[in-house]
Structure 1
Amino acid sequence: MTAYVVFTRDRTRDAAEMAAYSPGAKASFAGREMGRLAAYGECETLEGPPIEGAVILSFPTMEAARDWYNSPEYTEARKHRHLGADYRAFITEGV
């Protein structure tokens, strides 16, 4: 069953770290079956505190999503994201 990785960015703290994150994050998708459904387009918060942006990725299964998130390539890239901004992230199974 399709799984979705959802990131919401609450606040950017260091733009240089975010710039360092982007190439590594993109490279971590190589050879993986995934789709990018949304990536920092216009966003309207309906409930809760406002966010700066959101990303939604699709993977064929929860296992595939976890494998990508925990891969050495993405583990290295996300260090920059953690230094650069405050995010919330989760994986959810589709219907």
Structure 2
Amino acid sequence: MSAYVVFTRESTEDSAELDTYMNTVAPTFEGHPIKFLALYGKLDKLEGTGPEGIVILEFPSMADAQAWYNSPSYQAVAAHRHKGATYRVTIVEGQSP
């Protein structure tokens, strides 16, 4: 069953660190079955105070999503994201058709 990693950027704290993250994250995707569904597209904030940006990644399963997120290559790059901005990150399982 598909799984989705949802990154919600709440606020930017250090744009240089966030730039480093953005410029180094792509190689962490190699060898992982990722489909990019949303990448900081236009937001229409319908209720409440919305986030600065959202990324949604699709994986074939929770195990695939966790394998990428927990991989040493991603975790090394994620350190820059942690310094650069406040995020909420969630993995959610999809529904079967």
- Relative to the length of structure 1, the TM-score reads 0.95
Distance 2:27 2:48 in 1: 32
Give the Å deviation of 1:57.
Answer: 0.1
Question: 1:29-86 deviations in whole A, cap 9, x for unaligned?
Answer: 0011110000001012223322100000000000000010000010001000000000
Query: Following superposition of structure 1 onto structure 2, how do residues 16-95 of structure 1 map, counting pairs within 5 Å?
Result: 16-95=16-95
Partner in structure 2 of residue 13 of structure 1: 13
The answer on whether the counterparts of 1:36 and 1:56 sit within 8 Å (CA) in structure 2 is yes
User: Unaligned stretches of 5+ in structure 2?
Assistant: none
- Relative to the length of structure 2, the TM-score reads 0.93
Q: CA RMSD in A?
A: 0.9
SS at match of 2:29: coil
Distance 1:24 1:5 in 2: 18
**One-letter amino acid of the structure 2 residue matched with residue 44 of structure 1:** D
Report % sequence identity: 49
Would you identify which runs of 4 or more consecutive aligned residues in structure 1 move more than 4 Å? none
Distance 2:91 2:33 in 1: 16
Give the Å deviation of 1:93.
Answer: 0.6
SS at match of 1:28: helix
Give the Å deviation of 1:25.
Answer: 1.5
State the number of aligned residues.
95
**One-letter amino acid of the structure 2 residue matched with residue 10 of structure 1:** E
Distance 2:47 2:26 in 1: 30
